[in-house]
Structure 1
Amino acid sequence: MTKVAAGYGVTSAALKKTCNRHKIPTPERGYWAKLEHDKPVRRVPLPKLTDKRLDQVRISGTSAPELPEQVSKAGMEARERLMKASEPAAADATNFLVEEPPVLAATRRAISKARPDAAGFTSAQERGIVSMKIAPGSADRSLQLLARLFLLAETEGYRPKVNESGLELAAEEISIAFGIEERPRKNPHEPTAAELKRKEDNLRWGNSRDPWPKYDYSPSGRLAIIIQANLWSGLRRTWSDGKTQKVEAMLPEIVAGLAEHGALIRERRRAAEESERQRREAEARRKREESFNAREKRRLEFVDAIHEQLLERSKLTTVLAHLEQSAAKGEDRTASLSAWIRRRIQQIDALTSPEFLDLSARSAKLGFVEPPKGVGSEYASGYYAYPPTPRLQLWSIDEEKELATSTGMLEWAIHAGLLPASEDAPAKHETAEAEPPPQS
């Protein structure tokens, strides 16, 4: 019954009622245990159907089929173990007593000191206390029910755990809150003489509403165990006294329900951890791609700077070749221009030399080898840290100190011997270019 019911997303009790309505015989209690141990069992044959309206069985289950497979598997395995363990006591399920564990002492004190409300119910909910809302006369039965629940739940690895909000059942890293409530008895309210007089007064003012509640609520003695976890999950959360079956007889099903809720909490936690892991990986991929694109952009900027210098050198070389060709014909009137172009070409050659390119790239914190996976951007040192613009530079190198210092074009030209170090009067060929051309 438990296996078939789980497949339809209903409880075994609900499936039993459905079978009874349709005159379908079901295995008696202990049937499968006797069959497993080769003991005689009675198999009731399917009777002939007399009412044609019962020829179709409709079962409206919950969303259990949509739950993870681990949940239904955990519940099914727990039911099989608990049913076998509870077979000897099944016939006398409500009569035997168990010793009340010390962990329930605080709950007994709290519920005994609580004052009943207008409907006759006492409530208790604080640290180390099981959440309860019962009548004072149901206290002993409720505590005995909890003692038996703890004893049976321990066989599945669930033990009481004290926390700030109450007393829960925990197994490993999973903690499940629960409570006991007494179902109220609902009776139509009989208005008193004072209430009837108040209604007459209200009618004079045009108010026709009854000044009394529609129902009166009072303790019924029917207890229910409620699991306070996994709302809207489709799993059963409430087990209460029925017309013929007490909640004590449902303890194996309740503990199996705990196993299902625990499995669902574990699965949801695992799914949340997996989702968080995927989010972190996606974030790491996004950051790595952004860093890669930023590096590629700066690398292209550096290459563009080299290309720009090479284009300028090509242009200067072409002009210099033209001037040297003119000088070869005896028209040497552009010596200073040619000298400047040669100096400029030397500067470009220095800028684009492998040694200076390496120094310029390192100065701009620009690398052309991808960093290992997991290593962040090599220049991100703070929220406002921006990488320096990659540009070509001239360098002054001190071989003794093994130190390279960036320098300007004038300083480099002086250091390279291309320009005089002092600011004395320029030579004649250097001032000639500033003189106006002769008149024709």
Structure 2
Amino acid sequence: MAKTTFTRQELYDLVWSKPVSHIAKEYGFSDNGIRKICKKYNIPLPNSGYWSKLKFNKKVVKTKLPKQDDNPQISLEKTNPQLYAGDNPLSKLALRKKEILQAGLNITVPEQLSNPHHLIKSTKEYYKQVEIARKKGGWGHDVDSSKALSISVANNLYPRAFRFMDTLLKLIEKRGHKIECNKYNTKVIIKGQSYSIRLIEKSKRVKRETSYSYDTFDLEPTGNICLKIDHSYPIKEWSDGKIKKLEDRLVDILAWLEIKGEEDEQRSIENAIRQKKRDEEREIEEALQKQKDEELANFEGLFKSAERFQKSQYLRNFIQEFEDYAIKSKTLNPEKQEWINWAKEKADWYDPFIEREVPLLNDIDRDTLKPKKRSYW
């Protein structure tokens, strides 16, 4: 049995003993996977042409292993064939697929549908009612689709589609996630994140033979089914391939969805934290701006009060001069005395220290000497 755990020195000796492509095949890795591991642990690799020169006994240069304090244990555990070809075995996706495979779940789509999921039952009933409505001359639009999965394939593919979706739904729920179904779409709920899924039959464009001067095309069903994740970035889908059928991609689908849900949940948490911080900063800025506005308003009030005081003193000086002159010129009479009393009253009304009440001026703003704005509420 091949050794699967190495020190840096041991892995260095291994990659300089045979080509990386040979090591990759031996341990079930891709060439790139081995190179990434060596890069991670700062292990130099032979350059291109090294093995060719060595074969013909030409001079070669072997790069020394750089020294470092730690001495990690590096695993080259052979990957499961159901994992993506080319995945780094230490990647998040590969590790999640490994975890799912080791969970003891049934990841095989059966040849016959048995004990179907309740959404499979309701979906089959929906299509049955649609077919009945169409035979009666209708379109089936009025049939309740609130419990029907998003499946769009040819009639002959429905048994396969139901078996695939039944297995997928049961796997999703066994992993602790939820499925929601309404008249618009089918959603997988993972970590509070929602992803719309639909199963479709892929089509190809086929050129139509016409006499037109331009090309026209028809969409021709291919018989290949595809699971699509809608409204997701990046857009994701899994389809029948030349070697692998969609049924063989269940682990791929489940692992991708789980990682996507966790990453989006973390992103949502980080966004919420950033939004909270922005809200707090905005509240601080608004509170500071409010203080500034109040400070300026108070200063403007101070300035207006000082200005009013100065003007009220100016009025009093004028009134006093008028009274002194009337007395000196012996022209002070009841009419002038009445005016002097009236003027003093107005100076007291205008003076910010006194602000004497004058009923006829109750609606006048002392600062602007204009009518006060009325409130209608």
TM-score normalised by the shorter chain: which range applies? 0.5 to 0.7
> How far off its partner does 1:226 sit?
0.5
Instruction: Tell me, in whole angstroms, the C-alpha distance in 2 between the residues paired with 1:133 and 1:127.
Output: 16
**Contact 2:109 / 2:167 at 8 angstroms: preserved in 1?**
no
**Contact 1:302 / 1:390 at 8 angstroms: preserved in 2?**
no
> How far off its partner does 1:227 sit?
0.7
Change in Cα spacing, 1:355 to 1:164, as seen in structure 2 (3 Å) is farther
Q: Which runs of 5+ in 2 are unaligned?
A: 1-20, 30-44, 53-90, 132-140, 369-377
Q: Which runs of 5+ in 1 are unaligned?
A: 1-21, 30-44, 52-75, 116-122, 200-206, 365-387, 394-440
**Contact 2:196 / 2:230 at 8 angstroms: preserved in 1?**
yes
Partner of 2:186 in structure 1?
167
**Contact 1:239 / 1:247 at 8 angstroms: preserved in 2?**
yes
Partner of 2:249 in structure 1?
250
Alignment pair present for 1:83 and 2:92 = no
2:176 to 157, 162, 168: 157
Instruction: Tell me, in whole angstroms, the C-alpha distance in 1 between the residues paired with 2:255 and 2:364.
Output: 67
Paired residue type of 1:183: K
Instruction: Tell me, in whole angstroms, the C-alpha distance in 2 between the residues paired with 1:48 and 1:93.
Output: 43
- Could you state the TM-score of these two structures normalised by the residue count of structure 2? 0.53
> How far off its partner does 1:391 sit?
2.2
Q: What secondary structure, in the 3-state scheme, does the structure 2 residue paired with 1:25 have?
A: helix
> How far off its partner does 1:24 sit?
7.7
Alignment pair present for 1:136 and 2:155 = yes
Instruction: Tell me, in whole angstroms, the C-alpha distance in 1 between the residues paired with 2:22 and 2:154.
Output: 39
Residues 38-72 of structure 1 show CA distances to partners (whole Å, capped at 9, x for unaligned) of xxxxxxx9998789xxxxxxxxxxxxxxxxxxxxx
Let me know the Cα RMSD of the aligned residues: 5.3
Residues 346-393 of structure 1 show CA distances to partners (whole Å, capped at 9, x for unaligned) of 542355364647x89xx99xxxxxxxxxxxxxxxxxxxxxxx874279
**Contact 2:315 / 2:347 at 8 angstroms: preserved in 1?**
no
> Size of the alignment, in residue pairs?
278
> How far off its partner does 1:180 sit?
0.8
1:197-276 maps to which residues of 2 (within 5 A)? 199=211, 208=213, 217-220=220-223, 222-230=224-232, 233-234=233-234, 236-263=235-262, 266=265, 267=267, 271=271
Partner of 1:180 in structure 2?
199
Instruction: Tell me, in whole angstroms, the C-alpha distance in 2 between the residues paired with 1:173 and 1:144.
Output: 27
- Could you state the TM-score of these two structures normalised by the residue count of structure 1? 0.47
> How far off its partner does 1:306 sit?
6.2
2:332 to 306, 331, 335: 335
**Contact 1:79 / 1:253 at 8 angstroms: preserved in 2?**
no
Residues 160-190 of structure 1 show CA distances to partners (whole Å, capped at 9, x for unaligned) of 212231332224643321111122366666x
1:279-318 maps to which residues of 2 (within 5 A)? 293=293, 300=300, 304=304, 307-308=307-308, 310-317=310-317
1:318-333 maps to which residues of 2 (within 5 A)? 320=320, 324=324, 331-333=328-330
Change in Cα spacing, 1:125 to 1:89, as seen in structure 2 (3 Å) is farther
**Contact 1:79 / 1:252 at 8 angstroms: preserved in 2?**
no
**Contact 1:183 / 1:224 at 8 angstroms: preserved in 2?**
yes
Q: What secondary structure, in the 3-state scheme, does the structure 1 residue paired with 2:24 have?
A: coil
Residues 202-250 of structure 1 show CA distances to partners (whole Å, capped at 9, x for unaligned) of xxxxx5457xx55672442x221111122xx23x510112122222222
Partner of 1:407 in structure 2?
none
**Contact 1:131 / 1:179 at 8 angstroms: preserved in 2?**
yes
Alignment pair present for 1:108 and 2:124 = yes
Q: What secondary structure, in the 3-state scheme, does the structure 2 residue paired with 1:177 have?
A: strand
Instruction: Tell me, in whole angstroms, the C-alpha distance in 2 between the residues paired with 1:162 and 1:304.
Output: 68
1:396-415 maps to which residues of 2 (within 5 A)? none
Q: What secondary structure, in the 3-state scheme, does the structure 1 residue paired with 2:176 have?
A: coil
Residues 253-292 of structure 1 show CA distances to partners (whole Å, capped at 9, x for unaligned) of 2123323443565536974896599579859967995897
Instruction: Tell me, in whole angstroms, the C-alpha distance in 1 between the residues paired with 2:364 and 2:279.
Output: 33
Paired residue type of 1:217: E
Paired residue type of 1:255: L
Q: Percent identity?
A: 13
Change in Cα spacing, 1:273 to 1:247, as seen in structure 2 (3 Å) is same
> How far off its partner does 1:310 sit?
3.5
**Contact 2:195 / 2:230 at 8 angstroms: preserved in 1?**
yes
**Contact 1:107 / 1:129 at 8 angstroms: preserved in 2?**
yes
Change in Cα spacing, 1:157 to 1:46, as seen in structure 2 (3 Å) is farther
Q: What secondary structure, in the 3-state scheme, does the structure 1 residue paired with 2:159 have?
A: helix
Instruction: Tell me, in whole angstroms, the C-alpha distance in 1 between the residues paired with 2:306 and 2:338.
Output: 23
> How far off its partner does 1:136 sit?
2.3
> How far off its partner does 1:299 sit?
7.6
**Contact 2:148 / 2:183 at 8 angstroms: preserved in 1?**
no
> How far off its partner does 1:81 sit?
3.9
Partner of 2:13 in structure 1?
none
Paired residue type of 2:225: L
Instruction: Tell me, in whole angstroms, the C-alpha distance in 1 between the residues paired with 2:201 and 2:367.
Output: 84
Partner of 2:8 in structure 1?
none
